[in-house]
Amino acid sequence: MTEEGRTRQGAAQARSLFEAHMPELVPTLDRLAGQLASPRAGTLLTLAAVRPFFSGCTQIGGKDTLLRNYDFAPDHCEATIASSNFLRPVIGMQEAGWGLLDGMNDAGLAVSLTFGGRFVHGPGFAIPLVLRYLLETCQTVDEAVSRLRTIPIAIPQNVTLVDPHQTVTVYVGPNIPLTAAPDNCATNHQHLPVPRRAGAIHTNPEAPGRRTGGGSRRDSDAPTTAIPVPVRRVAGHRVHRPLPPRQWQRDVPLARGALGAVLHPLLLRSTHPHLREARRERPP
d(CA 97, CA 48): 13
User: So what's the pLDDT on residue 82?
Assistant: 85
User: So what's the pLDDT on residue 230?
Assistant: 53
Local structure of 57: helix, strand or coil = strand
Task: Please give the residue range of the domain that contains residue 3.
Answer: 1-50
Considering the domain architecture, whether residues 93 and 199 belong to the same structural domain is answered as yes
Answer whether 55's CB lies under 8 Å from 217's CB. Answer: yes
pLDDT at 99 over 60: yes
Considering the domain architecture, whether residues 2 and 67 belong to the same structural domain is answered as no
d(CA 123, CA 284): 42
Considering the domain architecture, whether residues 89 and 113 belong to the same structural domain is answered as yes
Considering the domain architecture, whether residues 275 and 148 belong to the same structural domain is answered as yes
Under the banding of pLDDT at 50, 70 and 90, the label for residue 27 is: very high
d(CA 70, CA 218): 12
Tens of pLDDT along 236-245?
A: 566 655 555 4
Tens of pLDDT along 157-187?
A: 999 999 989 999 999 999 899 999 988 888 8
pLDDT at 125 over 90: yes
Burial class of residue 28 in the structure, from the number of CB atoms within 10 Å of its CB (0-12 exposed, 13-18 middle, 19+ buried): middle
User: So what's the pLDDT on residue 194?
Assistant: 62
Considering the domain architecture, whether residues 15 and 113 belong to the same structural domain is answered as no
User: So what's the pLDDT on residue 45?
Assistant: 95
Under the banding of pLDDT at 50, 70 and 90, the label for residue 78 is: confident
Considering the domain architecture, whether residues 61 and 193 belong to the same structural domain is answered as yes
Considering the domain architecture, whether residues 120 and 35 belong to the same structural domain is answered as no
pTM for the complete prediction?
0.76
> Does 245 sit behind a cis peptide bond, omega within 30 degrees of 0 on the bond before it?
yes
User: So what's the pLDDT on residue 229?
Assistant: 56
pLDDT at 188 over 50: yes
Considering the domain architecture, whether residues 46 and 147 belong to the same structural domain is answered as no
Considering the domain architecture, whether residues 191 and 250 belong to the same structural domain is answered as yes
Tens of pLDDT along 207-230?
A: 223 333 333 444 434 444 445 555
How distant is the alpha carbon of residue 278 from its chain centre? 18
Tens of pLDDT along 52-74?
A: 877 778 888 887 888 887 776 66
Q: Residue type for 192, please?
A: L
User: So what's the pLDDT on residue 210?
Assistant: 30
User: So what's the pLDDT on residue 260?
Assistant: 45
User: So what's the pLDDT on residue 93?
Assistant: 87
User: So what's the pLDDT on residue 239?
Assistant: 63
